[in-house]
Copies of this chain bind each other. A is one copy, B any other.
């Protein structure tokens, strides 16, 4: 398996740029793919490293500088991602201050298909008071999306179907704080309609530490539109607040863009089969969709974010499997939803993004979701309720 080391600070390895395809590795040309690593220049993206994977059908761009997030992608010409008002991204972390705007500074860099949230905390900002009385803000969604990878490598399997794996390692650590190392692997088979993201979070410290990890997968058109639907094997659904209650009767259907639309958020528990569950977003015509298939053991909490604002201010929905719900961490901790990692212990998550083309593929996934639910009906709470929400 040819392996290309792009970054390894322990060996002073750094590859400034790279462009490879099958012929560079002596692989048959019927395996149609290419990988480009380069550094973006200009605006707030200046200095951001990206790895562009062109897989034939599915293309996507990884961002080592932003914690191995996924910038955006496309599948047979359909865009994966959304139109963020942050139009000059991916934004370099040096331009993001999480404490700004009441702890919402993270939003100044938010434009990804996948933004990882965590690792010491994720979710809504909150104030923290030190033992001697100083107040500081813990910002929205934590630090990981602003931490650059200290190790990046590419592996290409020499045997058909020639799967490509990109590995990145990011650490979140400080003296007197947690020391979590994330080892992230993204794997795709050229020509396929999917990628699989496997993250291993390891406590490298000597004491137990907290872990919150949430996968903020974000989609706009063409998958999102007026009449798009959300499908999942829902066990429990809780509207986060009064605003979410307003849209509760149509929680699984999307509206078109509405300038000034206030977000609606739903917390869920999903049924699984052999530990696996699936969520689906399908377009209004029911012939295009994106599905996330993942293990609920690692990611027991699911959050649906409906943010159908104007097209130029963020028309988007978030499908968000997580270790927890994106409430302020102290609330999640008090409800037992923050992972505690013993020294040397790891937590693994695995998520597969599948892109579906044609009503047959949609129906197949819909059936699979139905069979996971297996006739069980969702319990839908009429309002925010403990232990999901701070009521």
Select which of B44, B47, B174, B313 is within 8 A of A205 by beta carbon. Answer: B313
Select which of B174, B207, B314 is within 8 A of A175 by beta carbon. Answer: B314
Inter-chain contact A107/B175, CB cutoff 8 Å: yes
Question: What's the interface size class on A, roughly?
Answer: 35 or more
Select which of B45, B100, B148, B343 is within 8 A of A46 by beta carbon. Answer: B148
- Smallest Cβ-Cβ distance to A16: which chain B residue: B41
Select which of B176, B205, B343 is within 8 A of A107 by beta carbon. Answer: B176
Query: What's the minimum C-beta distance from A179 to chain B, rounded to whole angstroms?
Result: 5
Inter-chain contact A136/B136, CB cutoff 8 Å: no
Knowing A42-B9, A42-B148, A171-B88, the reply to whether A206 touches B259 (Cβ < 8 A) is yes
Interface status of A309 (Cβ within 8 A of chain B) = yes
Interface string of A92-127 (1 = CB under 8 A from B): 011101111111100110100000000000000111
A134 to B129, CA, bound (A): 12
A313 neighbours in B (Cβ, 8 Å): 175, 179, 205-207
Interface string of A60-88 (1 = CB under 8 A from B): 00000000000000000000000011111
Interface status of A310 (Cβ within 8 A of chain B) = yes
- Smallest Cβ-Cβ distance to A150: which chain B residue: B43
A311 to B344, CA, bound (A): 13
Select which of B99, B175, B343 is within 8 A of A85 by beta carbon. Answer: B175
Inter-chain contact B86/A174, CB cutoff 8 Å: yes
A104 neighbours in B (Cβ, 8 Å): 174, 176
A268-315 residues with Cβ-Cβ distance < 8 A to B are: 309-314
Inter-chain contact A99/B99, CB cutoff 8 Å: yes
Interface status of A339 (Cβ within 8 A of chain B) = no
With a 10 A CB-CB cut-off, give which of A88, A130, A179 has the most chain B CB atoms: A88
Inter-chain contact B150/A42, CB cutoff 8 Å: yes
Query: What's the minimum C-beta distance from A175 to chain B, rounded to whole angstroms?
Result: 5
A312 neighbours in B (Cβ, 8 Å): 179, 204-206, 343
Inter-chain contact A173/B86, CB cutoff 8 Å: yes
Inter-chain contact B207/A173, CB cutoff 8 Å: no
- Smallest Cβ-Cβ distance to A258: which chain B residue: B206
Interface string of A204-224 (1 = CB under 8 A from B): 111100000000000000000
Inter-chain contact A43/B9, CB cutoff 8 Å: yes
Select which of B12, B126, B177 is within 8 A of A101 by beta carbon. Answer: B177
A313-369 residues with Cβ-Cβ distance < 8 A to B are: 313-314, 343
A129 to B135, CA, bound (A): 12
Interface status of A40 (Cβ within 8 A of chain B) = yes
A135 neighbours in B (Cβ, 8 Å): 102, 127, 135
6 examples of A-B residue contacts, CB within 8 angstroms: A46-B47, A101-B136, A102-B128, A102-B136, A103-B134, A207-B313
The 5 closest A-B pairs by CB, nearest first: A206-B310, A43-B150, A14-B41, A206-B259, A102-B130
Other 11 A-B pairs with CB < 8 A, given A102-B128, A134-B137? A46-B47, A85-B177, A88-B171, A103-B130, A103-B136, A108-B177, A175-B313, A205-B310, A205-B312, A206-B309, A206-B311
